[in-house]
A and B are shown apart, each in its own frame.
Chain A
Amino acid sequence: MNRWFTITWIGLAVGAFSCDNPPQNKGDGARVHVAIDAALLTKSWPVRMAANAVRARFEGHAGWGAVFDHELDEALVAFADSGDQRGLARVHQGLADLYRQAALLSANATVEAYGVDAAATDPQEMGYVIAVSHAIRGETDQAKKAFEQSLDGPVFGVRAKAWADALKRHSTLPDLETLMGISGDLGPVSPGTEPPVLDTPDAEIAERSEQGRLMAIVDPSRFLARAAWHEAAAVASAPATDAGVLKQISARYATSRPAEKTHLELSLDDGWLFAASDLNAADVSFIAEAKGAGLVAVGRWSDRSILAAALAPSINESKLDPQLVLDAGFALQKQIQALMADVGGGEMGFHRPFAQRARIAVLMAGMIVADANDQYRDAGILRLNALERMDQLGVDPVFAISVAAWDAGNRSPMRPEEIIHQFKSSYPALVATRAPLEALHLRRSRHAGPSNPVH
């Protein structure tokens, strides 16, 4: 039985905790800096779902239980059986985000390991993989140049040509058909299924060394193809009225920074919000806009978006203060818990985990705004705090892989290795990200300061 349903069905009142539980200190550790307008906060999914009637649709449904527990693999199976199209679309969109971030992870590790730390022994064919990686990172000019230099490669020459042609047609990443032409057919898009996983590398090429060991090479195009496949499955599953919603939702984990533009607030079914990192419909639009506009979006949306309203007081002299964002997240959690108690007629066991989701959502929103505001390190602080906070609730695999991708871009392989290890049994296609990550680890390790085993 999944965690959420355990909590929900038991429905423990907080007062009924046994005396073995640790005493709760009533003093709030963090100073409460912000209180959201309660009228706005009552639109959040945690507060609304404190009411049994609103929550009933999601309770007892294996698919939504898996969504709450961040088990996309299990949710996919459950929704395929149940025929809940919106649920199915949401899961496919989640998997599309997951594999797009896996592509970025592979690309970042590839550029750092085989580009920045290139070794004279690396096979010539590595140039193609680096080219794909530049394309994924949005470094289109570098990608085009590198593809041109890879056209004659005996192993990846054909793929390089397909990529080069695609980038000539559009400067964006290729579509599903082109990607499958490059990295292999995933079969027709069939909602409710997962395409077959290739468990071998794309090539094994001898190193240019005396021993000439075979080096496993993974083309990151395979992750893009899988992401595009799931994206198509999401579109195919979603009700026709939700096409715009999918577009806005997908902005959160887009790998490229979008141009600054305004977004409209869309009408959202609860199926898009339940257990999501967006607390109300306006949050979806705010996040999509904040990816490009940063602080400006906070100003534009703080009267409608709960996340924008929570972040607004954390802005100091055109900067987002990460500590104030952390405080705002905690304050929001407390405020939501209080409102949930009002709505639900007393504190219930599920209130805290619901409200903790909101706390994490604030950190993730702050991270997006800080990134867009060129506060790279501050965004990193919020990113890592959000990941840590998830630890006790269940880690969102999409967010975790996005953190891994960010780490790899920082030349840091250890946390990504742990994250991939954690999720490889649920999402076997992720295993292929290990090859460049391992190379990054080994190359950094060779240049690192000496270190002894320590007890």
Chain B
Amino acid sequence: MALKHAIRAVTGLAFAVFGTGATLAYFEESIPMSLNPLYAKTMADHRAQELIFDRLWYNDAITNELRSRVVSKYQIAEAGRAVEITLKTGIRWHNGQALTSKDICFTIEAMLDPGTPSPVAAHYREFIVGCDVKGPQAALIRFSRVLPKPRERLSFLILPASEFDSTAVSPDLQFSARPVGTGPFNGKRGLRMVTMDAFSNVHHTPNIVQMQLQEGGDPLVQTKTLINNNVQGIVVVPPPQRPDLSASDDVSMKSYDLRSWWYISVNTKRGALSDRRVREALDLVLNRNELRQYSIGVKPNDKNSPCEFISGPFIPASPYYNVEVDVHPTANLAKAGALLKQAGLEKLGGRWHSEGKPITLRVGMLANLDHEAPDLLSQVANQLGAAGFDRLTSKISSDEWDNSVMAGSSDFDLVIGKWSFGLVEEVNELFHSKGRQNMFRFTSDKVDALLAEYDDAVTDTEQRDAYHKLHQRLSHELPYLFLWKLDTKSAWRTEVRGAIISPYYYFTEIDSWSIAG
């Protein structure tokens, strides 16, 4: 009955907004946290921003050819330390103003401004040193060193100079909810939905009048709503829902090339968890086969499983994955118990105690992951409980995740999460003692040294070897308990034509999308 109400509620919402034949409503993992490209933190942010803004250069989703919708010509300058670009004429911002080279240089200056606390910008500061306006449509982008393939690096989204008072762009501006871009859609974020209206331009001719991004809730409700044609797509379909959708001729399952892996991050600063042996014991307490089966629906012997165990911070198909580091599909409670005793813990009345007090682990999980891996949080908690740990569990909202967990100020002991990557699978920010995404401020001189080895590598062999050693080291130090990689699949109704999905960015080819009938 509750399910029926939920379906009706979502259906009503979908009907309310799905009126014209050219409106496309879809379920996202979550409502984007920010529509400002400098502050993209979730994949939902990236995907939505791809509809609203243009990147300077992008890769064709089919042929991988490097292209630009905004640059008409370019040339390498200053012996490889700069690139001069000429913009196409006639491109308008959503506020009606013309795109000029001032906007390109503004975007770069905003990224270079120390007053812009953007993790996205931080990487660009490592190789861009400035931008000079050379004319209304011409700009010179200067680098700190010779770049062999500069266009491949210049994939940032372009911001409008006219919408900002300063190059110091903060995350809390109105722009994050009501952005202005040159992309095919003009979007605004509400509490429960992002609506994006088509904006025709000389470089974009969207066939869809309006896109409506809705937060996906219960996966079963999402599936029923899609099959009943009350939304047209689901960006992330959890594995248990895939057979139902595959069975329908009205829906196409689509691959989405995204490298995602799941983990439990361990607060190595707190109590007994600072002892490596305790972390190893926790790793051995986990029965990953059962976690995967009960939360994702994949059984141990399933062939070509979309979900595969990992022993380090890469997916098994990655060049960086070290195949010599074993995964632990099942629990080994005896060994875990021995390690805990070695670490000085005592088991009294079936509960583990440290310094005479029972250990209570505070376990959290990013709330929207519960849709993709239902009940994972409680399954993990159950296994910890069965092994003799008291635990407190809570789901973490996106805001709390961002403001507390990632800021390093949360009091969780264990946090369940997922990281996603594209072509670049760098994990330095996650594990370096000064990494911007090192959530529990884990520190290890050996890990830092390996990350430096990766950064300093001259050849790709050296770089790969450094990450293989890192993988090995992390499986020893265990700042994370690595769980699995999980393939991402989308589902779109067959009325949605030309639905080409770009690796990582997703909606890059939205101009080819249309709705039949």
Point out residues on A near B: beta carbons under 8 Å.
21-25, 27-31, 119, 121, 207, 209-211, 213-215, 323, 330, 333-334, 376-377, 380-381, 384, 387-388, 391-392, 395, 407, 410-415, 417-418, 420-422, 434, 437-439, 441-455
Number of interchain pairs (Cβ within 8 Å):
185
Which A residues are CB-close (under 8 A) to B430?
453
Point out residues on B near A: beta carbons under 8 Å.
40-43, 45-46, 60, 62-65, 119-120, 123-124, 126, 147-149, 152-156, 223-224, 227-229, 244-255, 257, 259, 304, 316-319, 366, 401, 417-427, 429-430, 436-437, 458-465, 493-495, 497-498, 500, 503, 516-517
Question: Would A442 and B153 be within 8 Å (CB), given that A388-B254, A450-B126 are in contact?
Answer: no
The listed residue (A23, A407, A411, A450) touching B153 by CB distance below 8 A is: A450
Closest beta carbon of chain A to B251's beta carbon, Å = 8
B227 touches A447 (CB 8 A): no
Closest beta carbon of chain A to B67's beta carbon, Å = 11
The listed residue (A24, A213, A439, A445) touching B248 by CB distance below 8 A is: A24
In the bound assembly, the distance between CA atoms of A377 and B509 in angstroms comes to 13
B459 touches A453 (CB 8 A): no
A454 touches B43 (CB 8 A): yes
Query: Looking across the interface, which residue of chain B has its beta carbon closest to that of A71?
Result: B303
In the bound assembly, the distance between CA atoms of A378 and B474 in angstroms comes to 44
Question: Would A453 and B419 be within 8 Å (CB), given that A21-B247, A421-B317, A447-B149 are in contact?
Answer: yes
B424 touches A445 (CB 8 A): yes
Query: Looking across the interface, which residue of chain B has its beta carbon closest to that of A379?
Result: B62
A447 touches B495 (CB 8 A): no
Q: A211-B458, A411-B64, A447-B147 are in contact. List 8 more A-B contacts (CB 8 A).
A: A28-B249, A213-B461, A395-B304, A444-B152, A450-B124, A451-B422, A451-B426, A454-B41
A452 touches B119 (CB 8 A): yes
In the bound assembly, the distance between CA atoms of A31 and B495 in angstroms comes to 9
Which A residues are CB-close (under 8 A) to B465?
213
Question: Would A452 and B123 be within 8 Å (CB), given that A24-B248, A377-B63, A443-B460 are in contact?
Answer: yes
A30 touches B494 (CB 8 A): yes
Query: Looking across the interface, which residue of chain A has its beta carbon closest to that of B55?
Result: A449
Which A residues are CB-close (under 8 A) to B229?
25
Closest beta carbon of chain A to B239's beta carbon, Å = 12
Question: Would A29 and B516 be within 8 Å (CB), given that A23-B227, A381-B500, A453-B419 are in contact?
Answer: yes
Which B residues are CB-close (under 8 A) to A213?
459, 461-462, 465
Question: Would A442 and B319 be within 8 Å (CB), given that A377-B62, A454-B420 are in contact?
Answer: yes
Question: Would A455 and B417 be within 8 Å (CB), given that A29-B493, A323-B497 are in contact?
Answer: yes
Which A residues are CB-close (under 8 A) to B224?
22
B417 touches A29 (CB 8 A): no
B126 touches A441 (CB 8 A): no
Query: Looking across the interface, which residue of chain A has its beta carbon closest to that of B152?
Result: A447
Which B residues are CB-close (under 8 A) to A384?
62, 255
A-B contact list, 28 entries, CB within 8 Å: A21-B247, A22-B224, A22-B227, A24-B250, A28-B494, A31-B517, A119-B460, A209-B459, A211-B459, A323-B498, A330-B494, A377-B63, A391-B253, A414-B257, A434-B319, A438-B319, A441-B423, A446-B463, A449-B152, A449-B153, A449-B154, A449-B156, A450-B120, A451-B123, A453-B421, A453-B426, A453-B437, A454-B42
B424 touches A391 (CB 8 A): no
A442 touches B463 (CB 8 A): yes
A29 touches B63 (CB 8 A): no
Query: Looking across the interface, which residue of chain B has its beta carbon closest to that of A326?
Result: B497
In the bound assembly, the distance between CA atoms of A447 and B426 in angstroms comes to 13
Which B residues are CB-close (under 8 A) to A451?
123, 421-424, 426
Question: Would A448 and B62 be within 8 Å (CB), given that A213-B459, A453-B419, A454-B43 are in contact?
Answer: no
B516 touches A30 (CB 8 A): yes
Closest beta carbon of chain A to B280's beta carbon, Å = 24
Which B residues are CB-close (under 8 A) to A31?
516-517
Query: Looking across the interface, which residue of chain A has its beta carbon closest to that of B319?
Result: A438
Question: Would A455 and B42 be within 8 Å (CB), given that A27-B250, A376-B63, A417-B317 are in contact?
Answer: yes
Closest beta carbon of chain A to B465's beta carbon, Å = 7
Which A residues are CB-close (under 8 A) to B42?
454-455
Query: Looking across the interface, which residue of chain A has its beta carbon closest to that of B56?
Result: A449
Question: Would A444 and B423 be within 8 Å (CB), given that A450-B126, A455-B42 are in contact?
Answer: yes
Which A residues are CB-close (under 8 A) to B420?
453-455
In the bound assembly, the distance between CA atoms of A30 and B426 in angstroms comes to 42
Query: Looking across the interface, which residue of chain A has its beta carbon closest to that of B304?
Result: A422
In the bound assembly, the distance between CA atoms of A381 and B252 in angstroms comes to 14
In the bound assembly, the distance between CA atoms of A384 and B259 in angstroms comes to 18
Query: Looking across the interface, which residue of chain B has its beta carbon closest to that of A211?
Result: B462
A412 touches B516 (CB 8 A): no
Max count, chain B CB within 10 A of own CB: residue among A28, A121, A441: A441
Closest beta carbon of chain B to A124's beta carbon, Å = 15
In the bound assembly, the distance between CA atoms of A214 and B465 in angstroms comes to 11
Query: Looking across the interface, which residue of chain B has its beta carbon closest to that of A23?
Result: B227
In the bound assembly, the distance between CA atoms of A265 and B81 in angstroms comes to 61
In the bound assembly, the distance between CA atoms of A422 and B41 in angstroms comes to 30
Which A residues are CB-close (under 8 A) to B244?
21-22
Query: Looking across the interface, which residue of chain A has its beta carbon closest to that of B517?
Result: A31
A392 touches B62 (CB 8 A): no
Which A residues are CB-close (under 8 A) to B43?
454-455
In the bound assembly, the distance between CA atoms of A380 and B252 in angstroms comes to 18
In the bound assembly, the distance between CA atoms of A437 and B331 in angstroms comes to 35
Which B residues are CB-close (under 8 A) to A443?
460
Question: Would A414 and B259 be within 8 Å (CB), given that A450-B153, A450-B424, A454-B40 are in contact?
Answer: yes
Which B residues are CB-close (under 8 A) to A323?
497-498
The listed residue (A388, A417, A420, A455) touching B41 by CB distance below 8 A is: A455
